[in-house]
Amino acid sequence: MDEEYDVIVLGTGLTECILSGIMSVNGKKVLHMDRNPYYGGESSSITPLEELYKRFTLPDSPPESMGRGRDWNVDLIPKFLMANGQLVKMLLYTEVTRYLDFKVVEGSFVYKGGKIYKVPSTETEALASNLMGMFEKRRFRKFLVFVANFDENDPKTFEGVDPKTTTMRDVYKKFDLGQDVIDFTGHALALYRTDDYLDVPCLDTINRIKLYSESLARYGKSPYLYPLYGLGELPQGFARLSAIYGGTYMLNKPVDEIVMEDGHVVGVKSEGEVARCKQLICDPSYIPDRVRKAGQVIRVICILSHPIKNTNDANSCQIIIPQNQVNRNSDIYVCMISYAHNVAAQGKYIAIVSTTVETSEPEAEIEPALELLEPIDQKFVAISDLYEPTDDGTESQIFASSSYDATTHFETTCNDIKDIYKRTTGSDFDFENMKRKQNDVFGEDEQ
């Protein structure tokens, strides 16, 4: 432990594990510690089921009907991967994919007027959807064609829209789209949590809808992927990557003190020993005095014995409840997975509802989502504070990640990873840099 490292990473959440993996691949000497005896920090998967009951301090243990406790891997933070998104690129480039198996999520749904509908995202689906009337369909189809052909480097594709100045509200007006269509486009295709995006230039929204369509085109059923055995597999995959490149891992290691000299970090003290470092990356829980609270998220894990109604008995799906539909400022999300992903006992389903807390009664806020899931065998309610760093770490060389938000995909997490990478290295994150060297030593023999 008494050694000098380039970077010490505290916490084994996904953000921290990806960064320690990339730093190791880039030739940095990394020490990675976690005060917990397990990987994943906030973003771990809990197994066996008994452990989940304990964690949420439920008085009973799971009933017999829940099957074997060891068959369960329950994510504390529900997220899916966009098939064409940044996290998949990171997994492919670093070849962490060799440690994981993925399944396509079977459907993406949106809530309107108390019912759920499949999200149409291709022209054919748009024309068949009963989310909108016939004339609306034609206008929406035109809009989708415009987005698909849009190329920010080719003004011929702009059709009078300036990607840097035209707001998204004006683009919707141009295609004469009604409020319901705007709701599901902004929230179920572009995946915004609030309506703030309407009054900023439209380029980001157009790119988000493109990402959704391209991700969908990869596999057809939905744009989302999910790893077998749960999301806890992801941080562990990157931890293995880091270890192959000489990174040192220590679980169950309490952090007594972050050692500072002249205003910048020089090491971490644990159990009487000091490991020295030039930079420190950590999750907010390790440096409470350098982060500020930026809101709360409520997440409710629900165990069901049936698929969700009106989803064609899908064994996995996402449902987005746009904020306008339930008079809120931010969307409510439902992520559902099941025994098909080796995360639950045979015939059981796990649906996780999440949203940004807006009132003093968070459980009442998610009622519309819980109604879609009835009957629920067991609920586990968690209300978590969201933290973000108070400074960019330039002076202290301490770089904190932000808490995981209520969204059900990893794009915002990847943006945080790229941001921390830039602050620690001074250069932009480049996927090409993550490619393993051709003559790499893998941790296992090639078959």
Higher local confidence (pLDDT), 241 or 120? 241
For 418, the token pair is 């790229």
Q: Does the pLDDT of residue 40 top 50, yes or no?
A: yes
Residue 123, pLDDT score: 73
Tokens read off for 249: 């891992």
Average of per-residue pLDDT across 198-206: 96
- In DSSP terms, 317 is beta-bridged to 336
Residues recorded for the chain: 447
- Order the strands of the 108-112 sheet from edge to edge: 115-118, 108-112, 317-321, 332-338, 349-356, 291-304, 378-389
In the prediction, which pLDDT does 92 show? 86
Q: What one-character-per-residue DSSP string does 140-182 give?
A: HHHHHHHHHH--TT-GGGSTT--TTTSBHHHHHHHTT--HHHH
Confidence of residue 336 (pLDDT cuts 50, 70, 90): very high
Q: Which residue has the higher pLDDT, 431 or 229?
A: 229
Is 60 exceeded by the pLDDT of residue 439?
A: no
More confident residue, 98 or 446: 98
Q: Residue 131: is its pLDDT beyond 60?
A: yes
Sign of CA dihedral 75, 78, 83, 86: negative
pLDDT at 437: 52
Comparison of pLDDT for 22 and 120, the residue scoring more: 22
In the structure encoding, which two tokens stand for residue 76, read together? 């504390």
Do 287 and 15 contact (CB within 8 A), yes or no? no
Q: Which structure tokens are listed for 261?
A: 């000299």
Q: Say yes or no to pLDDT of 251 above 90.
A: yes
> What is the pLDDT averaged over residues 328-334?
95
Higher pLDDT, 317 or 26: 317
Query: Would the pLDDT of 257 be above 60?
Result: yes
The single-letter DSSP state of residue 268 is E
Where is pLDDT greater, at 245 or 124?
Answer: 245
CA-closest candidate to residue 46, choices 72, 81, 71, 65: 72
- The confidence band for 34, taking pLDDT boundaries of 50, 70 and 90, is very high
Is residue 132 within 8 A of residue 334, CB to CB? The reply is no
pLDDT (0 to 100) of residue 342: 95
Structure tokens at 332: 């409510």
The label of the residue with tokens 């035209």 reads 166
Residues 142-199 have pLDDT tens digits of 999 999 999 999 999 999 999 999 999 999 999 999 998 999 899 999 999 899 999 9
Selection from 350, 326, 352 nearest residue 340 by Cα? 350
- Classify burial at 50, counting beta carbons within 10 Å of its beta carbon; exposed 0-12, middle 13-18, buried 19 or more: middle
Give the contacts of 294 (CB within 8 A, at least 6 positions apart). 386, 387, 388, 402, 403
Q: Is the pLDDT of residue 132 over 60?
A: yes
pLDDT tens figures, 281-319: 999 999 999 999 999 999 999 999 999 999 999 999 999
**In the predicted structure, residue 103 carries a pLDDT above the cut 60:** yes
Instruction: State the Cα–Cα distance between residues 172 and 169, nearest whole angstrom.
Output: 5
pLDDT at residue 433, rounded to an integer = 64
Which residues lie closer than 8 Å to 41 by C-beta, 6 or more apart? 11, 12, 13, 16, 34, 235, 283, 285
Average pLDDT, the chain: 91
- Predicted confidence band of residue 430 (pLDDT cuts 50, 70, 90): confident
Amino acid 1: pLDDT: 65
**Ramachandran region of residue 172, left (φ > 0), alpha (ψ -120 to 50) or beta?**
alpha
User: How much is the average pLDDT of 332-345?
Assistant: 96
Q: What pLDDT was estimated at residue 436?
A: 56
Question: Is there a contact between 251 and 34 (Cβ–Cβ < 8 Å)?
Answer: yes
> What pLDDT does 52 receive?
95
Separation of alpha carbons 438 and 294, rounded Å: 43
**C-alpha angle 86-92-96 in degrees, rounded to nearest 5:** 110
**Tell me, what amino acid is at 136?**
E
Q: State the Cα–Cα distance between residues 237 and 240, nearest whole angstrom.
A: 5
Under the banding of pLDDT at 50, 70 and 90, the label for residue 443 is very low
Is the confidence at residue 434, as pLDDT, over 70?
no
pLDDT at 445: 44
Closest by Cα among 96, 55, 78, 14 to 350: 78
